């Protein structure tokens, strides 16, 4: 164990002698608290903190005359003090006071005090004194100070030299048994005038205690939360002392008790706080622990802590404040918000163990959240009047009146990223008015991360000013969240005046390198065009990852452009109108996903051209919808799917600017996917329902969804947009959608006599380059317009055809409402459709059964001058289609057509486009059918070996046969013959049984393996033979015996056994027969014996291979005759050896009796005894004559 040797206080006794036999290694608190005389800015204290006994008069006009005294912080300003020394008090504090005395002619006390002291105790009385006669002046009568205790002189400190030096004068005094009130007086033995002018300071009386030491269980630096044990070692004779342990977490400035008093020398700290030091208070009894007049202190026991990063599982290293770019505040609640109420009207729950004060100011152990302390009442008179540390007059701060014990007063948990540097900061102010004499407790705060203190403020100045504290740290790789806390290290409450504080702007921000973005080329730019950027990143991230973003609403919201990149240059492929650009930077790609883990660059405001001067439409509008055939549906999402629920799922992000609703009908600015709605949304306002009811989609599916749109009041804009990839260049498509105005026909304009008018939807169809931002499509020119959609209760299909430009294989489209929302403009959208269109048909002649079929492809050769064709076949009614290999000509020959088979062809402008469903037409379907043909069914049965003849055909095998004749229409007439040939039956079978079982075969019980045969007569008169192959499988049984020792385990067939007994485990073989394992287990006992022995301190006891010298219980394990352990337990007691030392003095001729001897000569004497346990007890005497 490490010995924390407590420093021995040097008690320099000037002009005194050490009292023999009393150890004063440790001292208690100063019992003369007024002996420092306080402090103040005035040279002479206007109100003396001390009144001298009668005989001395206090003066406010220095220097004091004979018989006067004053309390001052400096004699230098005294012009009239000729021949006096210029000096300050002996504290080192510029404003510290001392007592200056000009002695009277008679010997009277100039200072006195009476205290109730403990009996049979030693006290050290001490004071600092200085002769105020200037060393350079002529010698004058010197002061000579004596200590009078209960009327008797107990100390004479001799003459104070006239040398300009402070002297510490001290004396050890004894209070007899019983104690009680004891008076102390300081007197000056000599008269004054001239001379005998002096000052005194730091008058103290402290209890003396014995020498002791404290041992700690740890030799290594510790972490908060560790377990720590202390042991106190006292000299013989003091073993029954009582102890009160104390802790300080503010650099030993303030102390609080830990637990209750104990009279045991061991003390355990289960959970070591951060920044802790310890001390122990000693007293002769538990009652005396509560009396400052009867206690002594140890010196502070300073704990050596590991670096905080070594104690934390979530921190890799700790640094100073962030010198780079700060990201968003991970802890937005740390500024406590704002509000008009002086007190936040609810408890935000930040302070564990603290109560929330709704009626300020908070008392000890309470806190509140307030925007100003000025309105608070009389209790807060000693506090300053402040608002929070922001420009917001209603901004809140957290006001804390520290609790009795140090502890946490703010706790919050935040999401965080691994391997990321953060700055943890807070603004703190002491609420106490400035404290000139230093009597108030200053706040002392630790910043904690997951319970580990990463920073300490030290004492927060009591100066009416906010102070900002900040520290950086880097998280470990796997961190996902952090627990942040602020801890008050100083106590509050009774006995600790002060430690009242406010905290604001608690923040945790990612700390990264400085990031600056710039345009690679000068603008202006066309909306939708590519724009190149670059970024400069300072040091801080080894491999930074960048996410570029743009905003079109002056930075209110930001959109990602592409995926994260690690290169410093980047091009936004399609810049939106009114764009601002910035970049997010993080140490990893995962860090970019959270504002808690990234930093943000500067913002670029781009110069952009008008959309109408530079927007290029990537298609040629052909006009009306196509006729003929269509390709596959390119945009299946346009039907909005189906489902059993009334409301369908939310559309993909970026599809619409409307808000999603899935619990009721959508209000202004909302949309919903619905398959049915029959409730009047305006019930009671109009004579008829507002909307056409019931609402369903435009399909035959009762569960089909449609998009119900309730336009945003007062706003126009896109309500649906998407991108279509995989188109083909120079190809014609049809773009269409079904729209129904939901407003009732009761309203105007459909009802020309209607009293209420509804706004009619008016929708643009917009097509732009693929990837065109939402914002560009919002202002792009339309390619088609529906006109006003009348409230006529009718589904209308709106659409047009277009041809893609060369090189175009993808587009972005949008549906944009030109009418604002509000009174009307409610509609349902369905079946948004994109399909290739054109003529594609098939010609074929009628067929007789057995004829070959010739199919001719019919199409517009002007649209397809070099057509690519692929014929397809379906044999399942069109559910699936398979290509016919090699059939790519305009004519298809089918040599053997099958009734019901279906044929079609795919048509494209080139062979490669045949593989794209977006770039080909699907022809009409030709289903094979034949002219009517007479048919007749016939059946017959013959025996094996016989034959059957019909027409020109003879048959000998079972089967169905077609016999052809010529019908009147020239097609064949068919007789279908079903022929059955009967035969002799042979049945082969096999079976298996376990040994001892039987098998039933044709009424017989068989138990032996073998082959058995049985012949039966069939119903058709033929023989039927059954042959059985029977197998008999064996049954197995196994047995074992085993032995273990008590406390051991035996594993048998997957089971663990510790008790003796017979055990069985059954299995089945692969053939399903029994396989049995049996175990007989014996458990042998462990032998135990206990020895009780005692030795004297300094001796050893042999126990096996050990030599033992410490009290305790020991165990020795040997192997017994049965092979199992035999345990011998030794209970060893080490009895103490005692030694007592005495000193005494007699006069020559006198005698001294020592342990039955009469002594008269000086010398050292010794007497030895044996204790009850048989150990030495030695008494030593040093006699002086």
**CATH number of the domain that 334 lies in?**
2.60.120.260
* Residue 1 reports pLDDT greater than 60: no
Locate the DSSP E strands across 59-140. 68-72, 98-102, 109-117, 121-131
Kindly report, residue by residue over 615-671, the tens digit of the pLDDT: 788 998 888 887 778 888 999 999 999 999 999 999 999 999 899 999 999 999 999
Tell me, yes or no, whether 11 lies in a domain.
no
- Selection from 362-371, 907-916, 1123-1132 with the highest mean pLDDT: 362-371
Locate the DSSP E strands across 217-269. 228-234, 242-248, 256-257, 266-269
Closest-CA residue to 166 (of 8, 12, 376, 370): 12
Residues 745 and 848 both lie in one domain: no
- The answer to whether 987 and 1023 are in contact (CB under 8 A) is no
Closest-CA residue to 720 (of 783, 777, 766, 656): 656
Which residues lie closer than 8 Å to 1100 by C-beta, 6 or more apart? 1107, 1108, 1109
* Residue 3 reports pLDDT greater than 50: no
Q: If pLDDT is split at 50, 70 and 90, which confidence band does 495 have? A: low
**What pLDDT, on a 0 to 100 scale, did the predictor assign at position 1017?**
66
Distance CA 281, CA 261 (A): 9
**What pLDDT, on a 0 to 100 scale, did the predictor assign at position 984?**
65
* Residue 10 reports pLDDT greater than 50: no
- Within 10 angstroms of residue 558's Cβ, the number of other Cβ atoms is 18
Residues 364 and 460 both lie in one domain: yes
Range of the domain at 530: 515-613
Distance CA 127, CA 167 (A): 8
Distance CA 1010, CA 597 (A): 81
Distance CA 266, CA 279 (A): 13
Q: Is the dihedral of CA 872, 875, 876, 877 positive or negative?
A: positive
Distance CA 1165, CA 1159 (A): 9
Tell me, yes or no, whether 335 lies in a domain.
yes
Distance CA 770, CA 1005 (A): 83
Tell me, yes or no, whether 26 lies in a domain.
no
The verdict on whether omega for the bond into residue 524 sits within 30 degrees of 0, i.e. cis, is: yes
Q: Are strands 452-459 and 325-326 parallel, antiparallel or unpaired?
A: unpaired
Residues 44 and 192 both lie in one domain: yes
**What pLDDT, on a 0 to 100 scale, did the predictor assign at position 317?**
84
Residues 5-31 have a mean pLDDT of 47
Q: 867: domain CATH number?
A: 2.60.40.10
Closest-CA residue to 631 (of 919, 927, 925): 919
**What pLDDT, on a 0 to 100 scale, did the predictor assign at position 139?**
87
Virtual torsion, Cα 1044, 1046, 1051, 1053, nearest 10 deg? 80
Q: 812: domain CATH number?
A: 2.60.120
Residues 368 and 243 both lie in one domain: no
- 8-state DSSP, 562: S
Distance CA 648, CA 695 (A): 14
Distance CA 895, CA 906 (A): 21
* Residue 1052 reports pLDDT greater than 80: yes
Residues 79 and 190 both lie in one domain: yes
Which residues lie closer than 8 Å to 317 by C-beta, 6 or more apart? 309, 473, 474
Give the DSSP H/E element, type plus range, for residue 671: strand 670-674
Kindly report, residue by residue over 933-972, the tens digit of the pLDDT: 777 888 888 888 788 888 788 888 898 988 877 776 667 7
Residues 1054 and 1172 both lie in one domain: no
Tell me, yes or no, whether 36 lies in a domain.
yes
- Cα distances from 509 to residues 229, 331, 536, 839, in angstroms, run 39, 8, 21, 65
Tokens representing residue 700 in the block: 């035959």
**What pLDDT, on a 0 to 100 scale, did the predictor assign at position 379?**
63
**What pLDDT, on a 0 to 100 scale, did the predictor assign at position 7?**
27
Q: If pLDDT is split at 50, 70 and 90, which confidence band does 237 have? A: low
- The answer to whether 1077 and 1062 are in contact (CB under 8 A) is no
The residue assigned the tokens 């290293």 is 317
Residues 522 and 429 both lie in one domain: no
The string over 695-707, giving b where at least 16 C-beta atoms fall within 10 Å of a residue's C-beta and e elsewhere, is: bbbbbeeebbbbb
- The answer to whether 301 and 215 are in contact (CB under 8 A) is no
Residues 815 and 668 both lie in one domain: yes
Residues 755 and 882 both lie in one domain: no
Distance CA 868, CA 857 (A): 11
**What pLDDT, on a 0 to 100 scale, did the predictor assign at position 157?**
94
Residues 205 and 123 both lie in one domain: yes
Q: Is the dihedral of CA 797, 803, 805, 810 positive or negative?
A: positive
Which residues lie closer than 8 Å to 15 by C-beta, 6 or more apart? 156, 157, 158, 169
Tokens representing residue 715 in the block: 């706003």
Kindly report, residue by residue over 141-151, the tens digit of the pLDDT: 899 999 999 99
3-state secondary structure (DSSP) of residue 309 = helix
Tell me, yes or no, whether 19 lies in a domain.
no
Residues 1045 and 994 both lie in one domain: no
**What pLDDT, on a 0 to 100 scale, did the predictor assign at position 213?**
86
Distance CA 26, CA 762 (A): 95
The string over 464-495, giving b where at least 16 C-beta atoms fall within 10 Å of a residue's C-beta and e elsewhere, is: eebeebbbbbbbeeebeebebbbbbbbbbbee
Q: Which of 512, 536, 564 is the last residue of a domain?
A: 512
Tell me, yes or no, whether 7 lies in a domain.
no
Q: Which of 482, 512, 542 is the last residue of a domain?
A: 512
Q: Which of 787, 805, 837 is the last residue of a domain?
A: 837
* Residue 1136 reports pLDDT greater than 70: yes
Kindly report, residue by residue over 338-360, the tens digit of the pLDDT: 999 999 999 999 998 899 999 99
**What pLDDT, on a 0 to 100 scale, did the predictor assign at position 19?**
33
Distance CA 161, CA 195 (A): 12
> Taking CA 612 as the corner, what is the angle to CA 608 and CA 613, rounded to the nearest 5 degrees?
70
Tell me, yes or no, whether 912 lies in a domain.
yes
Distance CA 844, CA 546 (A): 64
Which residues lie closer than 8 Å to 1147 by C-beta, 6 or more apart? 1185
The verdict on whether omega for the bond into residue 749 sits within 30 degrees of 0, i.e. cis, is: yes
Q: If pLDDT is split at 50, 70 and 90, which confidence band does 853 have? A: very high
Closest-CA residue to 675 (of 709, 651, 641): 641
The residue assigned the tokens 């799922």 is 649
**What pLDDT, on a 0 to 100 scale, did the predictor assign at position 1030?**
84
* Residue 11 reports pLDDT greater than 80: no
- Cα distances from 1106 to residues 125, 1101, 1120, 1125, 1180, in angstroms, run 53, 8, 20, 19, 35
**What pLDDT, on a 0 to 100 scale, did the predictor assign at position 904?**
97
Q: Which contacts qualify for 970-973: CB closer than 8 Å, 24 or more apart?
A: 970/848, 971/848, 971/849, 971/931, 971/932, 971/933, 972/848, 972/849, 972/850, 972/933, 973/933, 973/934, 973/935, 973/936
- The answer to whether 718 and 815 are in contact (CB under 8 A) is yes
- Cα distances from 535 to residues 581, 592, 599, in angstroms, run 11, 16, 13
What mean pLDDT value characterizes the chain? Answer: 88
Structurally, the chain folds into a number of domains equal to 11
Kindly report, residue by residue over 42-71, the tens digit of the pLDDT: 999 987 767 888 889 999 999 999 889 999
* Residue 703 reports pLDDT greater than 90: yes
Residues 375 and 489 both lie in one domain: yes
Residues 81-87 have a mean pLDDT of 88
* Residue 13 reports pLDDT greater than 60: no
Distance CA 54, CA 77 (A): 28
Tell me, yes or no, whether 664 lies in a domain.
yes
Residues 201-207 have a mean pLDDT of 95
> Taking CA 1138 as the corner, what is the angle to CA 1133 and CA 1139, rounded to the nearest 5 degrees?
160
Q: Are strands 1087-1096 and 953-955 parallel, antiparallel or unpaired?
A: unpaired
């Amino acid at each position: 164990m490490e010995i924390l040797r407590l420093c021995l206080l040097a008690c320099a006794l000037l002009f005194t002698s050490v009292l023999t036999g009393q150890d004063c290694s440790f001292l208690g608190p100063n019992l003369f608290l007024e002996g420092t005389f306080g402090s103040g800015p005035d040279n002479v204290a206007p109100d003396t903190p001390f009144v001298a006994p009668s005989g001395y008069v206090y003066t406010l006009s220095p220097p004091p005359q004979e018989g006067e005294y004053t309390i001052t912080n400096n004699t230098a300003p005294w012009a009239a003090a000729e021949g006096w020394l210029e000096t300050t008090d002996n504290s080192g504090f510029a404003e510290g006071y001392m007592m200056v005395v000009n002695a009277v002619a008679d010997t009277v006390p100039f200072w006195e005090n009476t205290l109730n002291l403990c009996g049979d105790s030693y006290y050290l009385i001490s004071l600092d004194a200085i002769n105020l006669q200037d060393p350079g002046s002529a010698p004058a009568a010197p002061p000579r100070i004596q200590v009078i205790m209960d009327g008797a002189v107990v100390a004479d400190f001799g003459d104070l030299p006239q040398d300009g030096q402070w002297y510490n004068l001290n004396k050890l005094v004894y209070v007899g048994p019983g104690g009680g009130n004891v008076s102390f007086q300081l007197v000056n033995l000599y008269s004054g005038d001239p001379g005998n002018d002096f000052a005194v300071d730091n008058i103290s009386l402290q209890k003396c205690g014995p020498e002791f030491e404290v041992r700690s269980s740890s030799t290594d630096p510790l972490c908060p939360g560790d377990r720590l044990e202390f042991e106190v070692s006292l000299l013989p004779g003091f073993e029954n002392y009582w102890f009160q342990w104390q802790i300080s977490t503010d650099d030993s400035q303030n102390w609080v008790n830990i637990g209750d008093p104990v009279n045991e020398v061991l003390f355990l700290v289960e959970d070591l706080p951060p920044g802790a030091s310890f001390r122990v208070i000693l007293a002769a009894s538990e009652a005396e622990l509560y009396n400052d007049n009867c206690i002594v202190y140890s010196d502070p026991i300073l704990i050596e802590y590991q670096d905080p990063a070594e104690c934390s599982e979530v921190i890799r290293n700790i640094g100073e404040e962030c010198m780079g770019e700060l990201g968003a505040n991970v802890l937005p609640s740390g500024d406590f918000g704002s509000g008009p109420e002086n007190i936040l009207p609810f408890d935000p729950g930040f302070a564990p163990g603290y109560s929330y004060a709704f009626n300020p100011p908070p008392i000890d152990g309470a806190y509140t959240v307030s925007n100003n302390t000025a309105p608070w009442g009389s209790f807060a008179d000693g506090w300053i009047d402040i608002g929070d540390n922001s420009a917001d007059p209603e901004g809140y701060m957290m006001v804390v009146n520290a609790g009795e014990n140090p502890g946490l007063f703010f706790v919050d948990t935040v999401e965080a990223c691994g391997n990321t540097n953060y700055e943890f900061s807070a603004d703190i102010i002491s609420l106490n008015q400035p404290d000139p004499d230093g009597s108030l407790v200053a706040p002392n705060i630790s910043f904690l991360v997951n319970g580990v203190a990463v920073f300490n403020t030290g004492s927060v100045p009591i100066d009416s000013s906010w102070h900002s504290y900040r520290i950086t740290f880097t998280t470990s790789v796997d961190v996902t969240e952090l627990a942040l806390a602020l801890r008050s290290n100083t106590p509050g409450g009774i006995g600790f005046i002060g430690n009242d504080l406010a905290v604001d702007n608690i923040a945790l921000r990612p700390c990264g390198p400085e990031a600056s973005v710039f345009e690679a080329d000068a603008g202006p730019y066309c909306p939708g065009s590519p724009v190149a950027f670059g970024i400069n990143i300072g040091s801080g991230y080894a491999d930074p990852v960048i996410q570029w973003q743009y905003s079109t609403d002056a930075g209110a919201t930001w959109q990602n452009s592409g995926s994260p990149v690690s290169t410093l240059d980047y091009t936004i492929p399609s810049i939106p109108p009114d764009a601002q650009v910035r970049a997010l930077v993080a140490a990893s790609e995962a860090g970019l996903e959270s504002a808690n883990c990234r930093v943000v660059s500067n913002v670029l405001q781009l110069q952009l051209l008008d959309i109408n001067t530079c927007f290029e439409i990537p298609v040629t509008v052909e006009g009306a919808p196509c006729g003929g055939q269509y390709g596959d549906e390119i945009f299946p999402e346009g039907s909005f799917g189906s489902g059993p629920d009334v409301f369908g799922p939310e559309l993909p992000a970026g599809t619409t600017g409307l808000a999603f609703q899935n619990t009721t009908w959508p209000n202004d600015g909302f949309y919903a996917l619905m398959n049915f709605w029959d409730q009047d949304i305006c019930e009671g306002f109009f004579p008829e329902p507002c909307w056409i009811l019931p609402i369903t989609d435009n399909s035959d599916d009762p569960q089909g969804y449609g998009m119900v749109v309730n336009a945003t009041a007062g706003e126009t804009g896109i309500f649906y947009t998407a991108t279509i990839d995989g188109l083909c260049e120079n190809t014609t498509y049809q773009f269409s959608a079904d729209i129904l105005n939901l407003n009732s026909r009761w309203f105007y304009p459909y009802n020309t006599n209607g009293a209420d008018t509804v706004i009619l939807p008016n929708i643009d169809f917009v097509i732009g380059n693929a990837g065109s931002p939402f914002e560009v499509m919002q202002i792009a020119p339309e390619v088609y317009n529906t006109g006003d959609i009348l409230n006529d209760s009718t589904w209308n299909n709106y659409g047009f055809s277009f041809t893609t430009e060369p090189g175009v294989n993808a587009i972005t489209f949008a549906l944009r409402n030109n009418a604002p929302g509000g009174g009307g403009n409610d509609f349902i959208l369905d079946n948004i459709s994109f399909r290739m269109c054109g003529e594609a048909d098939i010609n074929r002649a009628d067929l007789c059964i057995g004829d070959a079929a010739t199919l001719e492809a019919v199409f517009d050769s002007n649209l397809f001058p070099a057509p690519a064709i692929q014929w397809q076949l379906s044999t399942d009614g069109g559910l699936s289609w398979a290509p016919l290999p090699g059939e790519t000509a305009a004519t298809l020959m089918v040599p053997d057509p099958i009734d019901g088979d279906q044929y079609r062809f795919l048509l494209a402008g080139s062979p490669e486009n045949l593989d794209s469903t977006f770039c080909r037409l699907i022809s009409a379907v030709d289903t094979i059918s034949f002219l009517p043909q007479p048919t007749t069914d016939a059946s017959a049965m013959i025996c094996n070996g016989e034959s059957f003849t019909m027409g020109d055909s003879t048959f000998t095998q079972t089967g169905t046969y077609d016999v052809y004749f010529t019908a009147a229409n020239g097609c064949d007439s068919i007789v279908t013959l079903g022929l059955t040939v009967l035969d002799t039956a042979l049945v082969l079978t096999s079976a298996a049984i376990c040994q001892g079982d039987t098998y039933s075969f044709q009424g017989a019980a068989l138990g032996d393996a073998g082959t058995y045969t049985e012949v039966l007569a069939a119903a058709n008169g033929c023989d039927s033979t059954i042959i059985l192959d029977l197998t008999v499988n064996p049954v197995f049984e196994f047995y074992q015996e085993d032995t273990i020792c008590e406390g051991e385990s035996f594993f048998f067939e997957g089971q663990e056994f510790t008790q003796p007994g017979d055990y069985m485990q059954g299995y089945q073989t692969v053939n399903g027969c029994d396989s049995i394992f049996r175990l007989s287990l014996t458990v042998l006992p462990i032998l135990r014996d206990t020895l009780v022995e005692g030795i004297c301190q300094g001796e050893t006891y042999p126990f096996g291979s050990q030599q033992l010298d410490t009290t305790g219980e020991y165990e020795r394990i040997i192997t017994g005759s049965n092979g199992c352990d035999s345990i011998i337990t030794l209970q060893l007691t080490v009895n103490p050896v005692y030694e007592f030392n005495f000193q005494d003095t007699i006069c020559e001729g006198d005698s001294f009796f020592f342990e039955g001897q009469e002594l008269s000569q000086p010398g050292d004497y010794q007497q030895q005894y044996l204790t009850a346990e048989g150990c030495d007890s030695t008494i030593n005497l040093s006699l002086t004559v």
